[in-house]
Structure formats: structure tokens, C-alpha cells
Structure 1
Amino acid sequence: MAERDPGDWVWCCCILIFTSGLTALCMWLSLLTSYPTCSIEQFYVPALNATANSADNRTIFFRLLLANRMKDKGVRYSNISLTFLYGGKSSASVVANHTVKGFYQGYKKKANRAELVQATGVPWEEAVTAVSGGSTVNFGVRLGTRVKFKIVFWYTKWHNLAMVGDVEVGGGGQKVGKKGIKLTSGAPDRGWRWARFSPTVFSVVFAILMC
């Protein structure tokens, strides 16, 4: 039986190394996740609209936009807690609390949640005087929830998500500007991150690669 050319072994090793590297790259990319983006697209306080004769309407209407930027991973939200503050996101003056029911969001999908919440504790006379005189008032929004990412058939562990933002309200009781107010974490942007699975999932993936 003829001996195999050493060059063939080198070639086989190169193919094996290349294949292993490509597999590792694919696994690395598949385990990268990113948090969804959250923004306040609409914000209306009827009591601050002097022309609508709605001074007794002490509610806040808002539309929250949640966007999953990932092309191949879904996002599962737990219940989303929203806190509204008069004076901005750093204020201690909480005027309303609201909960949006959790849901699943598919790849590259956006979800709108338009809700109405009752506000208490707003210094209405002060706020009306400010917007009537051409000034604006700030309402802070704090969002808190937990998310986990769906990769193929598996879910990652839950991750905490806390975001804040300021909404500037002017005459007419409407949010100033047409552009949505993007909520931020208030900390350095972590951007993309690793998904973490249970040891069982890693064992299954390893077994598949070894077959």
C-alpha cells in the first residue's frame, strides 16, 4: 500500500483548521445580541392645551415604540414598567405609573404601544402658566423591563433593561418636535453583547458539531 504524500496531510490539516475557524466564527456571530431600542413617539397632556377647554382632563397619552434591530433573533419582553415624572427624568416627583403587558417580538420588527395613564401630583397651574407664556415643561420617562433573546429554538437568560428620557411639552400640550424621543440607559452604551445559555444547550451544540 502506497504511503500517503505528506503534502496531503498538510492540506487536510489546513482544511480542518479553516472549517473549524469558520464554524467558530458562525457560532460567535450567532451568539451576539443587542438590546431593542425604545422611544416615545407621541406624548400629549390635554390639561396643558388651553385651546381645547380640557383643564379637567388630568391624563397623559403616549405612544411607545419598541424596535428589534436584529435580523435573526427574537426578543421576549416581560411586563414593561413605565414611570412618569414632572420636571424631568432626574426628578423625584412621580406623577404616574403604568404597566405594558409583556410580549414576543420577531426579527427586525417594531411594536407600538399607545396608552392612556392618569396623572396625579402635577402642579397644573404652574405648568399651564409656563406653556401659555411660550415656555415648555419637562416630563421624565423611566422604563424598566427584562428581555431574553430567542436564537433558533432556544432562549437566553433574562437581562434587565432600564432606560430613561426627557419629553419636552409646549403649548397645546403636545411633545415638542416631530422626532421621537429615544430613551437611553444613562450608562455607556453596551451595544452588542454575548448571549448566555445553560450548559445543556452548549452540550447539544457541541454534540451537533462533533457529528
Structure 2
Amino acid sequence: MAEYGDGGCCRCWCSFIFTSGLTALFMWLSLRTFKPTCSIQDFYVPALNITDMSTTNDTIYFDLKLDNGMKDKGVHYANINLTFFYNTTLPIANFTVPKFYQGHKKNTHRRATVETSGLPWAAALDAVSNGSTVRFRVGLATRVKYKIMFWYTKRHSLVVGGDVVVNESGRKVNKKGIKLKSAAPTRGTYWVMMVGPFVVFIFFMNLLFL
């Protein structure tokens, strides 16, 4: 009877350990978050279109796409601050997208025209007129928080950027959207993608072999 009791207790304990490990894994999978994908889908500089020669038009038209790929979490964006650079270093314009909420598996476009200042139009027009290209850069900075069921996480910084090459048509050379990327992975992203699964695995194995 004692041996049977010990065996039953052992089976219950192993079942508890296994269930606890799976629960920890599922909790991690359900709570992990991914930052939204930001990209420039369209970029047009009318003054650099040599067939139009609208040299008095000092604006830039852009189409910013924000993509929430998570199927069970929403994203709340604070004000999105966009900075435009000529030749990747000279700041020429700023634009703010007002804060908003984005639902599960949704993508959102923000299209606008921004006035530039200090852009060396003569040099840029001369470059594209001679068959060369000019380079712009778009920097994006905001803070996001994620909605999981009925509650929000703390806010996380989102700072990304990307280069846009423009030719004599005044439009970006790359026909596809240009993904805005971070200069370096954040600690939070590294934890989610690399450290998180490892910790859950070690926790489960420790429980299993206690």
C-alpha cells in the first residue's frame, strides 16, 4: 500500500510539474509583444521632377504605413514625431502624427505633405538632372503601449529611421515600401526574442527534474 501511495504521489507531482511548465510557457507566449512595423510607402518631391520643374514647390509628400502584426494585442501610439533630412544629415522638415489606437492585425496609413526649410534645391536639382540621385532620411520617434485584453502595458520607446533615394522623377527609386529600422536592437526586443524562451525552458527543465 505504501509503494502504491508513493507511486500515486509521484505521478501527481510529475503531472503538476508538467502542467506548471506548460502554463509558464503559454503565459510567456500570450504576454510577449512585438513592436509595430513602420515603413515609407510613397515619397514624392515635386521640385525634383525634371519633367515638371515645379521649383517653387518646396514640399515633400509622404505615405507612412504602420503595421500591427499581433493578432491578439492592440497598440496605442503617442504622438509620432517625424524628422526629414536631406543627404541623411541636414534636417529640413518636421511633422507630427497625432496619437491614436490601432487594433489587432491592423495597418494604418498616414499621408501628408510637409513644408521643407533649408534644403539646397539648386544642388539637388542639378544632381538629378545629371542622372544621379539624392538621398533623404526619415526619422520616426514615438512611445507605444500595448493593450492585452482589458489592460495596457507600460510605454516603450520606438525610434526608427530609413533612407529614401530619389531620382529625376522626384519619387523614391525603390518601388517597394522602405522599412524604418532601429540602429540597434533594444533590450526589450532582445529579451522577448532570445532570453525569454531560454528562461522558460530552464524553468521547465528544473521543475521536471527536481
> Which TM-score tier does this pair reach, normalised by the shorter chain?
0.7 to 0.9
1:192/1:160 Cα in 2 relative to 1: closer, same or farther (>3 Å)?
same
User: Which residue does the alignment assign to 1:124?
Assistant: 121
Identity %: 57
Which segments of 5 or more consecutive residues in structure 1 lack a partner in the other structure? Answer: 195-211
Matched, 1:139 2:165: no
* Partner Cα distance (1:60, 1:125) in 2: 16
Are 1:80 and 1:100, in contact at CA under 8 Å, matched by a contact in 2?
yes
Are 1:37 and 1:66, in contact at CA under 8 Å, matched by a contact in 2?
yes
> 1:189 deviation in Å?
6.3
> 1:81 deviation in Å?
0.1
> 1:188 deviation in Å?
3.4
Q: Which amino acid aligns with 2:149?
A: V
Are 1:35 and 1:192, in contact at CA under 8 Å, matched by a contact in 2?
no
User: Which residue does the alignment assign to 1:37?
Assistant: 37
Secondary structure, counterpart of 2:47 in structure 1: helix
User: Which residue does the alignment assign to 1:203?
Assistant: none
Aligned length: 190
Matched, 1:188 2:185: yes
Matched, 1:152 2:145: no
> 1:6 deviation in Å?
2.4
Range with greater deviation from structure 2 (113-122 or 64-73)? 64-73
After TM superposition, the structure 1 = structure 2 runs for residues 45-64 of structure 1, keeping only pairs within 5 Å, are: 45-64=45-64
After TM superposition, the structure 1 = structure 2 runs for residues 93-104 of structure 1, keeping only pairs within 5 Å, are: 93-104=90-101
Q: Which amino acid aligns with 2:72?
A: D
Range with greater deviation from structure 2 (183-192 or 34-43)? 183-192
Q: Which amino acid aligns with 1:161?
A: L
> 1:5 deviation in Å?
2.8
User: Which residue does the alignment assign to 1:83?
Assistant: 83
User: Which residue does the alignment assign to 2:65?
Assistant: 65
* Partner Cα distance (2:171, 2:99) in 1: 27
Range with greater deviation from structure 2 (9-18 or 120-129)? 9-18
Q: Which amino acid aligns with 2:42?
A: Q
Q: TM-score, normalised by structure 1?
A: 0.84
Matched, 1:113 2:110: yes
1:62/1:172 Cα in 2 relative to 1: closer, same or farther (>3 Å)?
same
* Partner Cα distance (2:154, 2:60) in 1: 34
Matched, 1:26 2:26: yes
Which segments of 5 or more consecutive residues in structure 2 lack a partner in the other structure? Answer: 193-210
User: Which residue does the alignment assign to 1:8?
Assistant: 8
Q: Which amino acid aligns with 2:116?
A: A
Deviations 1:130-149 (A, max 9, x none): 11110000111110000011
Secondary structure, counterpart of 2:135 in structure 1: strand
Equivalent of residue 171 in structure 2, options 174, 197, 211? 174
User: Which residue does the alignment assign to 1:161?
Assistant: 158
Deviations 1:168-195 (A, max 9, x none): 010110001201111111113664655x
Q: Which amino acid aligns with 2:48?
A: L
* Partner Cα distance (1:65, 1:121) in 2: 27
